[in-house]
Amino acid sequence: MSAPETETIRNDPDLLRPELYINRELSQLAFNRRVFEQSKDTSLPLLERMRFLCITSSNLDEFYEIRVAGLKQQVEYGGTQTGADGLTPTAALHRISMQARDLVSEQYKVLNESILPALGNEGIRFLRREEWTREQRAWAKTYFDEDILPVITPIRLDPAHPFPRTLNKSLNFIVSLTGQDAFGNEGGLAIVPAPRALPRIIHVPQEISNEPYDFLFLSSVIHTYVGDLFPSMDAVGCYQFRVTRNSDLFVDTEEVDDLLRALEGELPSRRYGDAVRLEVADNCPEKLAKFLLQKFELRDGDLFQVNGPVNLHRLMQLPDLVDRPDLKFPSFTPRLPQKMPQGVNMFTAISSGDVLLHHPFESFTPVVEFVKQASVDPNVIAIKQTLYRTGMDSVLVSALIDAASAGKEVTVVVELRARFDEETNIEIATKLQEMGVHVVYGIVGYKTHAKMLLVVRRERDKLKRYVHLGTGNYHHRTARLYTDYGLFTCNKRIGKDVHQIFMQLTTHSKNPPLNYLLQAPFTLQSGLIERIDREAANARAAKPARIVAKINGLVSQRIIQALYEASRAGVKIDLIVRGVCCLRPGMEGVSENIHVRSIVGRFLEHTRVYYFQNGGEESEVFCASADWMPRNLVQRVEQCFPILNREIKRRIIDDLEVYLSDNCQAWALDHEANYSRVTAQVDEPRISAQQRLLDLYAGK
């Protein structure tokens, strides 16, 4: 096996011009705006619009925790290096600040002027303090006394009580006090952290409000009775605030000898990393806002003044508290594949031919059943699986433990560094090890992002490999929310390839070339470029030439250059890029033949599919765990697998065409880096790709 690939750039000055590339961070913000637009779409169920608003807030949190934090560090260290787009870190931060500020302002406007009034019209009310009835006020006081007061810890600021360390993204209050305390000291300031264990939305009992869905914000209750925390003093001002901190973990992989222990030691720092953003209530006096900025060592540009709760993401719990199916997306039942009905022997089904699953339209149950059956099948000798994100309550983890308990050889590659799932993955790894599973953490310096499951079974005195390969995580919950492909096969060469990758992950040895699979960081980037170049050569030879790729992100400058060259040669290129896209389509003389669209809808588009027309010969279709980003192509262990079954290949190509015909949930990218909604013409039928696939595969 060759050495790991690097992000090598072709030395073509014409394709290195900064104006040919979109800034990565600004493109990510543009994606979040597309998500936000869903909250404004009145054709969507009301509680789903609320969800989209919350997702936008959560996305922006992570954007600041990781991307903005990284840019700030570059500036702090004097970095001036630009990306392919030519923006310096300082210039990028300035543009991010302006665009993020506009987005946040619109978020609260939609919340206050559209969503909350519409919820009120549906009998779902957030009661304002000034509107509480006598009964509601008495109930809120009792709730404060019995549920909040015993667990809250107000901190008066003085030389003996300096400004406290506030947790990342936690709700806090800064309180102005007058009068004297018990020791004769004059007022001043206090910080009141809201207990994280308490819900941010409090359901008022119907017997108190005479309505089934009346709610109070925790912040409103604390604000109302904050004076009770400081007897003999007057709380003359109380204002919410929240600080977002750098949450990227750093582990020196050259120095550590135990990655799990190193990550465990690093996790607490995420709660108290350097501050990168401060949110305060918009009625907070300027003097107090500047005081907070000083304490967190932030500048004016890092301050966001908001008209409402400082953490919109906590409103995500509202749809679960309200039993109103009419205000949510209609429920559906994912279909079981025809070859895999309930109770089928999975090994018999897979032996009869490859089986493709398209989640969430088709059920994730066969994947779970595959591992469950393998765990109790006396002919199964070994199970090997990669786990990136799976959840502590995973039925797959339980099945793997059962298999180990039954004496089977079970090996699990757990990626400990899956961002924001590190703690869960450490717990899973520890639990698996305690139950006799062989656990490894992949390759130091390379995240293991591949999605692979291998079962070795003895049949007629020979060993046979059964494989599941996917584009998404082995997570039964996200399989209901993310679109992904999963392939079952017992193809001998694919099974051998998967075996070799597992051997490489556990031994770090150089293996022979793979038969069918492309693997990052060794052959995936070069394999993609080889096929893009082949399409360009076919176009020059007047042969059929087309590329369709459905991915989550396109950042790799090397891949973009190859696509630009293919476009110049006349290759028709359709890219379905959900999130970040640094390629500019429609640039004269460079990318006229490239079209880029993004699908944002009920489900998170997560499938990675690559289609190459191959000059009219047998077309090639690959599914993969990897996006077209440097981190996926050269910094991770990823798998990319071909679709060999012609019927399945045709099905995937048809799916791609459905996405390319979407005129309900699609956004088109232009050469100026702007996205616009794709809408149906007067004489065109309305096509929603996700709804069409739901209608095709899933029952109500």
State the Cα–Cα distance between residues 224 and 227, nearest whole angstrom. 8
Strands 172-180 and 275-281: unpaired
Residue 262's pLDDT is 46
Whether residue 521 is preceded by a cis peptide bond, meaning omega within 30 degrees of 0, is: yes
Q: Would you give the end-to-end CA distance of the chain in angstroms?
A: 48
Residue 254's pLDDT is 43
Radius of gyration of the chain from its Cα atoms, rounded to whole angstroms? 27
SS3 category, 657: helix
Cite the residue boundaries of each domain of the chain with CATH code 3.30.1840.10. Answer: 129-327
Dihedral sign computed on CA atoms, order 492, 494, 495, 500: positive
- The burial of 249, by beta-carbon neighbours within 10 Å (0-12 exposed, 13-18 middle, 19 or more buried), is given as middle
Residues 6+ apart with CB under 8 A from 107: 36, 39, 53, 56, 57, 312
519-697 to CATH, choices 3.30.870.10, 3.40.190.150, 1.50.10.10, 3.40.50.880: 3.30.870.10
Residue 271's pLDDT is 64
Residue 583 is given by DSSP the state B
Catalytically active residues, by annotation:
449
State the Cα–Cα distance between residues 402 and 410, nearest whole angstrom. 10
CATH architecture of the domain formed by 346-511: 2-Layer Sandwich (3.30)
Residue 184's pLDDT is 67
Residue 473 is given by DSSP the state -
Dihedral sign computed on CA atoms, order 163, 167, 173, 179: negative
- Residue listed under structure tokens 């079962």: 455
Asked whether the beta carbons of 25 and 67 are under 8 A apart, the reply is yes
52-79: per-residue pLDDT in tens?
Answer: 999 999 999 999 998 999 999 888 888 7
Cite the residue boundaries of each domain of the chain with CATH code 3.30.870.10. Answer: 346-511, 519-697
- Residue listed under structure tokens 């990675």: 608
Asked whether the beta carbons of 667 and 678 are under 8 A apart, the reply is yes
- The burial of 430, by beta-carbon neighbours within 10 Å (0-12 exposed, 13-18 middle, 19 or more buried), is given as middle
Largest Cα–Cα distance of the chain, in whole Å?
91
Whether residue 360 is preceded by a cis peptide bond, meaning omega within 30 degrees of 0, is: yes
The CATH number assigned to the domain with range 129-327 reads 3.30.1840.10
pTM of the predicted model, to two decimals? Answer: 0.93
State the Cα–Cα distance between residues 566 and 574, nearest whole angstrom. 12
- Residue listed under structure tokens 């956004």: 667
The partner residues of 327 in beta bridges, in order of sequence, read none
SS3 category, 311: coil
Phi (first) and psi of residue 243, to 5 degrees:
-115, 135
Residue 255's pLDDT is 43
What DSSP string runs through 384-442? Answer: EEEESS--TT-HHHHHHHHHHHTT-EEEEEE-TTSTT-HHHHHHHHHHHHHTT-EEE--
Asked whether the beta carbons of 361 and 333 are under 8 A apart, the reply is no
Residue 422's pLDDT is 67
Residue 350's pLDDT is 98
Asked whether the beta carbons of 600 and 621 are under 8 A apart, the reply is no
Other CB atoms within 10 A of residue 678 CB: 17
CA nearest neighbour of 471 among 480, 454, 483, 453 = 483
- Residue listed under structure tokens 């007047």: 542
The residues of the chain scoring below 50 in pLDDT are 251-260, 262-267, 700
In this structure, the dihedral spanned by the alpha carbons of residues 176, 181, 186 and 189, taken in order and rounded to 10 degrees, is: -30
The length of the chain is 700
